[in-house]
C-alpha cells in the first residue's frame, strides 16, 4: 500500500474510533480495522527501506515520514469531524438521527460516509499508480485485492445503498452526483488494478532473496559476475581450445589481428549446435529459437533506456556477462566475414593534429585555466580530476565519456578490481573498439569462464599471475590508444557506474534521479604517437615510463606497444606500483613502499627531515604502529632517518581520513553505497589499532562517500631546509597487502625483503617549486594543505574532525 494512502486510512480509523464512535458495535468494527492496519504499518516500516532503494533518504527516514504524515492526517480528520459535530452549530442535523443520546443533533453516518469515500478514492487510485510505477507485484496478490475490494464494496457502496433503500429521506446524499462520481471512481480504479496486476505478473521476474522486479528494471540492474547454471559445455570446450596457453603467452597491446584459432573454435561450436538442432527436428522436438540480436547495448549515441531490447528467452544460454553467447558468436562470425580483419566499418573523423604550442615553462599539471583550445592532446602534461557526480555542480571533474574519447578510441586496456560489463558496453561498442580486460579472479575455473564469456563479445580477458599468497589485482589503470595519442589513466575508481558518479537510471526514461553516492580521483595524461611508426628505446624512457613498463610486464602484458608513444613530457611525475609477490634485491627497490621511496628520490622529493602526511583511504587494514612507521620512513625517503630513528611522536604527524558510521548512513546512497568502504571490526577493536590518528572524511560534495586513495605529503628537506609537497593518486589503500609487509628491523639492520599480496598502481606528483615560493614560507616551515590547490581539488573537508567518540564505518 502506498505510504500516504496507508497513513490517511489509518489516521481516519484512529480518529473515528477514539473521537466519534459512541456505540459498542461501532467501536468493535473500527477497532478491528485498526488492528488489521497495524499489521500493514509494521510490514511497511520493516521492509519499506528495501522498496525505497531508488530514494535512500526516504528509506532510512521512513518511520519519521510515516509519523509526520499520520499526525497530519489525524489532525485533518479530527478537524473535519469537530466541525461536523459542533453541538452549537451541527452540520446537516436530521430528525431521527441520534448521537450520544441526543436526537436530531448530528448525522454521524453521513459524516463518516463522506470522509471514508474520499479516503477510498485516494486509496484505490494510489494503489493503481503504485502498481504501474513499480512494475512488479511484490506485496500484492489476487486474494489481497479481492479481500480489500469486497470489503470496501460491501462496507461502503452496498451498505449506503441499503440505507438509502430503507430510509431515503435521511440518506439522499448517497445518490447525489458527487457521491455517485466518487463511488464509481474508486470501483473503476480497483477493477483496473486487477487488470494491471495480471499484466505485471506476466512481465515480472524473481530476484535473489525471493523478491520481485519488473523485467526491464532487472535487466538494467544486472551486474557482472552472475553466472548461469545452464552454460553451454560444448561451447566452453571449444573456446578453451582457443585459449590454451593464454596464461603463459603475454598479451599484445598493439595488435589489430583477430584470433584465428578462436574463430575456428567458435565456428566449430556453432556447427555442432546446428547438428544438434537438426537432430531435434528429426525427433519432432522444437529447438529453442536463439535471440539473434547482440545482447549487449548499442553505443550510447543510438540507444536509450526506453529503447532497450526485451530480455532473451529463458531457454537461451547465458553466463557471467548475462549475454546470449551463441547468437553473438553467429553475429560475430558474420561480421568477420564482412569486414575481414578487425577494421572499423567507417573511419571516425580524425581530430586535428594542430596543438597549441606549450609555454616555455609549463605548469607541472594541466589546470582548467592553463589548457588551451581542444586538441588531440588535452592533457599533455597530465591532470588530476575528480570524478563527475550526478546532481552536483561541475568543478574540476571529469565524466567517464570524457576520459574514454570513444569516438576515436582504437584500443582500450582496462584494469580494475571490479568490471561492470553491462555499464561499460553503454560507453563504447565492443564491436568497434578492441579491448583487453585485466581481471582479478584467482581460481582457474572462474578465469576460464570469464575468458569464454569475454571472447564471445570480442574482448580479450587477461589475468596476471595469481599464485601463492597473491590475493587480488587491485590496480585501476586504463591505456586508451587512439590514432594520434595514448591516454594513460590512473585512478582510484573501479569501472562501474557508482564509482564514476552515476546512479541507476530510470528503466523508462533513462534519467538518473538519485544523486551520486561515491566519488573518486583520476590522473590522466596524453602522450603523442611517435612519427612514422617509430619505436622508442626502453632505456630512453623516463622514470614514469620505466615504472609503467615494469608494471605491465609483471601483469604479463609485455608487448612494447607503449614504446610507440613519446614519454618525454612525463619527467615531472612517477608511476608507483605494487607488484604482488616476494621481492628481494633490486626488485625490492622498485615496488611497494621501497618503490615509493625510490620514486621520491627520482623526483628530488626525498631527504625529508619533518613530514606531515594526510591519507584518504577507502579501506583500512589491520593498522599497527610498526607498519605506519614503515610508511613514514618511505615517505621521508631519507637515508639519515632509518626505521629505528623515527621520532616517537611521528603518529602526531599522520592523519587518516575515513567515514564515520553516521556519515555513511546519512549519505545519498546510505549503507548500500558503503560496501566498498571497509574496516574490519576486529581490526579496529584491537588494542594495537591507532584510533587517535583517524579523522572524519566529509566530502565537500554533500552526501557523497569517498572511494579515494590519496596521500598528501608536506615537509621540508634536511639539508636545504626548503619546503616541498607531493601527492599520490592511485589504487593503494592503507594496508600491508597494498604497500608491502616488512619485518621490524633491528638497530642498523638493512631490510632485504618486501611481501606484497596485491597488484596496485598510482602516480606521484610533486607540487611545482614556483607554487610553493608564492607562499613565502619561512625557513624550515611546512607548507599548508592549500599548497595543493590549483594542481587538484581537495575532495574532503580539512582539517578533518576527530572521531570524538563516534564509530567508523565497520564491517564484520
Which residue numbers belong to the known binding site for substrate? 476, 709
| CA separation for the pair 217, 293 (Å, rounded) | 20
The answer to whether 397 and 387 are in contact (CB under 8 A) is: yes
Catalytic residue among 217, 474, 577, 716: 474
Strands (E), 542-603: 573-578, 581-584
The answer to whether 475 and 591 are in contact (CB under 8 A) is: no
- Per residue, the 3-state secondary structure of 119-153, as one string, reads HHHHHHHHHHHHHHHHCCCCCCCHHHHHHHHHHHH
Strands (E), 618-756: 619-620, 654-658, 678-679, 694-696, 705-706, 710-717, 723-730, 753-756
* φ and ψ of 755, to 5 deg: -115, 120
The reply to whether 474 belongs to the active site is: yes
For residue 529, with 0-12 CB atoms within 10 Å meaning exposed, 13-18 middle and 19 or more buried, which class applies? middle
| CA separation for the pair 692, 659 (Å, rounded) | 14
Question: Beta strands 212-214 and 204-206: pairing type?
Answer: antiparallel
The reply to whether 485 belongs to the active site is: no
Cell 587517535, located at residue: 692
Rounded to 5°, the CA angle 683-688-692 comes to 90
Q: Which residues contact 180 (CB under 8 A, 6 or more apart)?
A: none
DSSP structural state of residue 293: S
β-bridge mates for residue 486, sequence order: 481, 527
Handedness of CA 549, 445, 441, 403 (dihedral sign): positive
Element of type H or E holding 331: helix 325-339
Cell 557471467, located at residue: 320
| CA separation for the pair 440, 474 (Å, rounded) | 7
Determine the angle formed by the axes of helices 444-456 and 233-242, rounding to 10 degrees.
Answer: 90
Catalytic residue among 136, 630, 707, 716: 707
Rounded to 5°, the CA angle 91-97-98 comes to 100
The answer to whether 690 and 625 are in contact (CB under 8 A) is: yes
| CA separation for the pair 558, 555 (Å, rounded) | 8
The answer to whether 397 and 389 are in contact (CB under 8 A) is: yes
| CA separation for the pair 158, 156 (Å, rounded) | 6
Assigned C-alpha cell, 351: 581530430
Rounded to 5°, the CA angle 637-640-646 comes to 80
Alpha-helical segments (H) within 540-624: 543-554, 585-588, 592-602
- Nearest partner of 765 among 714, 733, 729, 796, judged by Cα: 729
Handedness of CA 545, 548, 553, 554 (dihedral sign): positive
Alpha-helical segments (H) within 61-107: 62-84
List b or e across 262-286, with b for residues whose CB sees 16 or more CB atoms inside 10 angstroms: bbebbebbbeebeeeeeeeeeeeee
Q: What's the residue count for the chain?
A: 812
Cell 558503503, located at residue: 674
Question: Beta strands 102-103 and 204-206: pairing type?
Answer: unpaired
| CA separation for the pair 643, 631 (Å, rounded) | 10
Question: Residues forming the annotated binding site?
Answer: 476, 709
- Nearest partner of 613 among 592, 636, 594, judged by Cα: 636
Q: Which residues contact 811 (CB under 8 A, 6 or more apart)?
A: 678, 679, 680, 681
Q: Annotated catalytic sites, by residue?
A: 474, 707
Amino acid at each position: 500500500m502506498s505510504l500516504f494512502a496507508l497513513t490517511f486510512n489509518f489516521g481516519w480509523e484512529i480518529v473515528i474510533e477514539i473521537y466519534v464512535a459512541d456505540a459498542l458495535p461501532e467501536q468493535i468494527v473500527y477497532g478491528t480495522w485498526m488492528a488489521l492496519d497495524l499489521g500493514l504499518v509494521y510490514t511497511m516500516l520493516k521492509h519499506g527501506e528495501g522498496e525505497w532503494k531508488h530514494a535512500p533518504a526516504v528509506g532510512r527516514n521512513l518511520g519519521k515520514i510515516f509519523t509526520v504524515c499520520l499526525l497530519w492526517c489525524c489532525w485533518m480528520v479530527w478537524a473535519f469531524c469537530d466541525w461536523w459535530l459542533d453541538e452549537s452549530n451541527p452540520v446537516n442535523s436530521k430528525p431521527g438521527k441520534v448521537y450520544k443520546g441526543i436526537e436530531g443533533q448530528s448525522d454521524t453516518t453521513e459524516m463518516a460516509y463522506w470522509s471514508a469515500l474520499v479516503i477510498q478514492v485516494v486509496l484505490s487510485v494510489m494503489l493503481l499508480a503504485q502498481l504501474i510505477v513499480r512494475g512488479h507485484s511484490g506485496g500484492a496478490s489476487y486474494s489481497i485485492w479481492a479481500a480489500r475490494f469486497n470489503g470496501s464494496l460491501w462496507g461502503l457502496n452496498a451498505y449506503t445503498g441499503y440505507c438509502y433503500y430503507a430510509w431515503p429521506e435521511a440518506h439522499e446524499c448517497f445518490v447525489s452526483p458527487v457521491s455517485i462520481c466518487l463511488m464509481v471512481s474508486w470501483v473503476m480504479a480497483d477493477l483496473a488494478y486487477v487488470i494491471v496486476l495480471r499484466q505485471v505478473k506476466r512481465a515480472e521476474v524473481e530476484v535473489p532473496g525471493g523478491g520481485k522486479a519488473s523485467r526491464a528494471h532487472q535487466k538494467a540492474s544486472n551486474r557482472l559476475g552472475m553466472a548461469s547454471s545452464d552454460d553451454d559445455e560444448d561451447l566452453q570446450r571449444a573456446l578453451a581450445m582457443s585459449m590454451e596457453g593464454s596464461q603463459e603467452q603475454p598479451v599484445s597491446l598493439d595488435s589489430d589481428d583477430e584470433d584465428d584459432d578462436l574463430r575456428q573454435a567458435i565456428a566449430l561450436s556453432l556447427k555442432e549446435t546446428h547438428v544438434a538442432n537438426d537432430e531435434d527436428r528429426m525427433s519432432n522436438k522444437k529447438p529453442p529459437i536463439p535471440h539473434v540480436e547482440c545482447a549487449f547495448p548499442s553505443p550510447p549515441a543510438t540507444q536509450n533506456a526506453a529503447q532497450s531490447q526485451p530480455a532473451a528467452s529463458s531457454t537461451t544460454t547465458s553466463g557471467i556477462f548475462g549475454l546470449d553467447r551463441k547468437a553473438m558468436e553467429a553475429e560475430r562470425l558474420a561480421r568477420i566475414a564482412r569486414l575481414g580483419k578487425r577494421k572499423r566499418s567507417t573511419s571516425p573523423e580524425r581530430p586535428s593534429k594542430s596543438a597549441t604550442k606549450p609555454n616555455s615553462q609549463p605548469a607541472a599539471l594541466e589546470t582548467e585555466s592553463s589548457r588551451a583550445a581542444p586538441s588531440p592532446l588535452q592533457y599533455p602534461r597530465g591532470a588530476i580530476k575528480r570524478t563527475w557526480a550526478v546532481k552536483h555542480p561541475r568543478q574540476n571533474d571529469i565524466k567517464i565519456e570524457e576520459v574514454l574519447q570513444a569516438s576515436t578510441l582504437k584500443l582500450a586496456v582496462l584494469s580494475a578490481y571490479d568490471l561492470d560489463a553491462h555499464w561499460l558496453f553503454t560507453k563504447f561498442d565492443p564491436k568497434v573498439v578492441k579491448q583487453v580486460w585485466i581481471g582479478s579472479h584467482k581460481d582457474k575455473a572462474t578465469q576460464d569462464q570469464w575468458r569464454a564469456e569475454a571472447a564471445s563479445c570480442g574482448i580479450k580477458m587477461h589475468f596476471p599471475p595469481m599464485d601463492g599468497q597473491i590475493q587480488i589485482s587491485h590496480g585501476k589503470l586504463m591505456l586508451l590508444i587512439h590514432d594520434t595519442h595514448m591516454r594513460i589513466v590512473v585512478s582510484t575508481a573501479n569501472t562501474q557506474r557508482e564509482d564514476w558518479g552515476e546512479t541507476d537510471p530510470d528503466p523508462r526514461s533513462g534519467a538518473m534521479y538519485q544523486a551520486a553516492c561515491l566519488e573518486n580521483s583520476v590522473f590522466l595524461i596524453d602522450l603523442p604517437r611517435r612519427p612514422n611508426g617509430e619505436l622508442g628505446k626502453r632505456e630512453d624512457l623516463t622514470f614514469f615510463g620505466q615504472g609503467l613498463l615494469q608494471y605491465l610486464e609483471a601483469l604479463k602484458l609485455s608487448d612494447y606497444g607503449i614504446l610507440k608513444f613519446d614519454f618525454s613530457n612525463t619527467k615531472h611525475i612517477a608511476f608507483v606500483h605494487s607488484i604482488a609477490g616476494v621481492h628481494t634485491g633490486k626488485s625490492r627497490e622498485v615496488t611497494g613502499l621501497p618503490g615509493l621511496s625510490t620514486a621520491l628520490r627520482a623526483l628530488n622529493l626525498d631527504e625529508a627531515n619533518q613530514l606531515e602526511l594526510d591519507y584518504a583511504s577507502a579501506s583500512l587494514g589491520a593498522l599497527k604502529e610498526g607498519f605506519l612507521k614503515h610508511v613514514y620512513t618511505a615517505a621521508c625517503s631519507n637515508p639519515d632517518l632509518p626505521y629505528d630513528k623515527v621520532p616517537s611522536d611521528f603518529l602526531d604527524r599522520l592523519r587518516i581520513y575515513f567515514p564515520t558510521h553516521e556519515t555513511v548512513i546519512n549519505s545519498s546512497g546510505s549503507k548500500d553505497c558503503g560496501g566498498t568502504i571497509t574496516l574490519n571490526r576486529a581490526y579496529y577493536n584491537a588494542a594495537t589499532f591507532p584510533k587517535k590518528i583517524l579523522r572524519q572524511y566529509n566530502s565537500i560534495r554533500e552526501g557523497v562517500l569517498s572511494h579515494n586513495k590519496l596521500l598528501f605529503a608536506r615537509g621540508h628537506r634536511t639539508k636545504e631546509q626548503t619546503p616541498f609537497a607531493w601527492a599520490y593518486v592511485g589504487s593503494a589503500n592503507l594496508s600491508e597487502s597494498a604497500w608491502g609487509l616488512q619485518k621490524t628491523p633491528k638497530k642498523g639492520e638493512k631490510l632485504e625483503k618486501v611481501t606484497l599480496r596485491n597488484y596496485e598502481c598510482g602516480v606521484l606528483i610533486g607540487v611545482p617549486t614556483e607554487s610553493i615560493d608564492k607562499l613565502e614560507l619561512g625557513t624550515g616551515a611546512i607548507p599548508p594543505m592549500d599548497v595543493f590547490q590549483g594542481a587538484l581539488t581537495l575532495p574532503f573537508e580539512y582539517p578533518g574532525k576527530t572521531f570524538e567518540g563516534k564509530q567508523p564505518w565497520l564491517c564484520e
